[in-house]
Amino acid sequence: MEKQNKQTYIYWDRVVIALCIFVLIIIFIVMGIKGIINAFTDDEKSKAVQAANTDTALIGEGQELLVCIDAGHGGEEDCGALSNDEKRFESNDDLNMALAVEKNLKKLGAEVLMTRTEDKYVELYSRPEMANDAGADLYVSLHRNSAQTGQGVEVWVNYDAPDDDTLLAKNILEGLDEVGISQNRGVQYGYQGYDPTAKVNYVVNEKSNMPSCLVELGFITDDEDNRLFDENLDAYAKSIAESIVKSAEELNMVEISNKAEKN
Ligand SMILES: [Zn+2]
């Protein structure tokens, strides 16, 4: 008697199609879950951004504040001070900080005039001239210090200590001190390296028509100051921008509106 042949015929083409459909379904499920997760986290993110914005003091609507941010030095002709290993140029640090301050000032509703936005040489006297020509309200020059020994942050204003300049310098210094600096070297008057009784100013302070100051944001020759500068670049920039706007309000240049209070 012949054994019954129970062998089942396998339709391989159908198996392949079924597998493909199965894989596609799995892909769709995974993508769907991912989409839901992303939508959720984006929502959380936008909520966080909104919360941050409502904390921020904003320049009142219809008001204008033009701030000149001057990144010190620039270009091959003038790289400013150098770190001890001569690999770090002050001109780059000044520019990075200036760009970050610009971004933060714009967030607060200020207009910003930059003396440079790239690594290029800008003649010293043309810097305050740009601010004067544009009718800027405030002028802040950003630099880094250098010395064989020494660390900390100092802000320079005119030797005759105009109240408005001193207020701007103090606000910036206090803000940076709150973020964290190695040493608060105070508001300084005149020009570094000269006889303190000599009547000499930094060119940017001397030639600018509006309240101005020159910030020496730590020593490029000090490892701790460089570490603090790098770690706190964003926090320093935010603080400087907020201090500038706060100064503008205290000098009755603008009124500050706070979204949180408005709503
Ligand atoms: Zn400098």
DSSP of 13-34: HHHHHHHHHHHHHHHHHHHHHH
Q: In this structure, which residues have their CB less than 5 angstroms from ion ligand 1? A: 72, 80, 143
pLDDT at res. 244: 98
Could you tell me the distance, in angstroms and rounded to a whole number, from the CA of residue 178 to the centre of ligand 1?
23
| Residue 219 burial class via C-beta count within 10 angstroms: exposed 0-12, middle 13-18, buried 19 and up | buried
pLDDT at res. 258: 67
pLDDT at res. 28: 77
**Tokens 């504040």 label which residue?**
65
**Tokens 């802000």 label which residue?**
155
pLDDT in tens, 81-130: 999 999 999 999 999 999 999 999 999 999 999 999 999 999 999 999 99
Helix (H) or strand (E) run with residue 83 in it: none
Could you tell me the distance, in angstroms and rounded to a whole number, from the CA of residue 245 to the centre of ligand 1?
24
CA distance 205 to 141: 9
Could you tell me the distance, in angstroms and rounded to a whole number, from the CA of residue 137 to the centre of ligand 1?
22
- Residue (of 65, 68, 113, 57) closest to 253 by Cα position: 65
pLDDT in tens, 165-180: 999 999 999 999 999 9
Q: What is the DSSP letter of 253?
A: S
Q: Quick one: CATH architecture of 61-259? A: 3-Layer(aba) Sandwich (3.40)
pLDDT at res. 56: 64
Query: Which 3 state secondary structure label does DSSP give 88?
Result: coil
Could you tell me the distance, in angstroms and rounded to a whole number, from the CA of residue 215 to the centre of ligand 1?
9
Strands of the sheet with 184-189, listed across from one edge? 111-114, 66-71, 138-145, 212-219, 153-157, 184-189
Residues contacting residue 105 through CB under 8 Å, at least 6 positions apart: 67, 69, 112, 241, 244, 245
Could you tell me the distance, in angstroms and rounded to a whole number, from the CA of residue 72 to the centre of ligand 1?
5
Stretches where the chain sits below pLDDT 50 are 1-3, 42, 44-54, 259-263
CA distance 144 to 35: 46
Could you tell me the distance, in angstroms and rounded to a whole number, from the CA of residue 79 to the centre of ligand 1?
9
pLDDT at res. 133: 98
Task: Map out the domains of the chain as residue ranges.
Answer: 1-55, 61-259
Could you tell me the distance, in angstroms and rounded to a whole number, from the CA of residue 90 to the centre of ligand 1?
7
CA distance 215 to 94: 10
